[in-house]
Structure 1
């Protein structure tokens, strides 16, 4: 799909995998992805897009992202939810119920290879996990929201090794039922 070998954890076994590693997030035009542990907007169409993209595939996230989901949505249904945390003992807490808990991104990537739908593995947040994944991911699917709300968590910058492959719509913006304008961009990594 991406034209180059997939990039996984450093173990030789996982490098042989044909999985595509993707990152998915929504951001404002200024790059805000969160404020106070939540998304500072309400965009039902993006939640539907996120669900459609990731359902049936393993999702990898940090503990704070996991905890930002309302309890009734944890674990995200139809997906193996892999949570990375350095917090000792968290796996045994009620908050961790339904998660596959690991202590590093490398462990998460290895664990994802044993999950259903592992032909696509999705990094779903937060900021630190995205930064760690930047040199490993093949694709980034970014919902761009025409808003300048303030936030405290920012999307990673897709630099020179990434190219925008497509945007929906190709020109202008889609409009949510609530009037919010947005578009969905797909980026591909071009170099190792």
Structure 2
């Protein structure tokens, strides 16, 4: 299964200067719960912003840089390589990877920050005509936010 996991604000901002423009521990806990024991695929800049592989999951970096290597991660060089990964795979960012895989994913785990932030990286626009809300849950901490699980509607 191929899923997207993302946190964005009301303007679809996901980052600013290669960092998240908010601190939301409740979302980080959810990400850990959903992705532990699974595979996360991220672009090189997203990996560099983390500074290390995330523990207890398979970390895969997609990059065009044939010389890129980092301890604790697997490196792939094409979107086709994603389809060869076993198990539940989560697209983990950033903007370019989200854009390239939006039409490929089966579902999305989306955290929406109920505010607007300065940003230079964005999640692609999506429509509820294409996605069915499987679940929605209000966050319990500040800043105000909600967790959504969206499943792709049938493509016929």
**One fold, TM greater than 0.5?**
yes
Shift of 1:126: 0.7
Describe the SS at the equivalent of 1:149: coil
- 1:105-184 paired onto structure 2 within 5 Å: 105-110=79-84, 112-113=85-86, 118=87, 120-159=88-127, 160-169=129-138, 174-176=139-141, 179-184=142-147
Q: 1:44 aligns with which of 25, 37, 58?
A: 25
Deviation track 1:147-185 (CA, whole Å, cap 9, x = no partner) reads 21110011112233222222103xxxx231xx3111101
Describe the SS at the equivalent of 2:92: strand
The corresponding residue for 1:101 is 75
Shift of 1:88: 2.6
Shift of 1:187: 0.7
1 or 2, which has the higher helix percentage? 1
Shift of 1:191: 2.9
- 1:77-92 paired onto structure 2 within 5 Å: 77-91=55-69
Describe the SS at the equivalent of 1:66: helix
Q: Are positions 1:23 and 2:4 aligned together? A: yes
Q: d(CA) in 2 for partners of 1:109 and 1:48?
A: 27
Unmatched tracts of structure 2, length 5 or more: none
The corresponding residue for 2:54 is 76
1 or 2, which has the higher strand percentage? 2
The corresponding residue for 1:15 is none
Q: d(CA) in 1 for partners of 2:45 and 2:82?
A: 15
The corresponding residue for 1:65 is 46
The corresponding residue for 1:6 is none
Unmatched tracts of structure 1, length 5 or more: 1-19
Q: d(CA) in 1 for partners of 2:140 and 2:120?
A: 25
Give the CA RMSD over aligned residues. Answer: 1.2
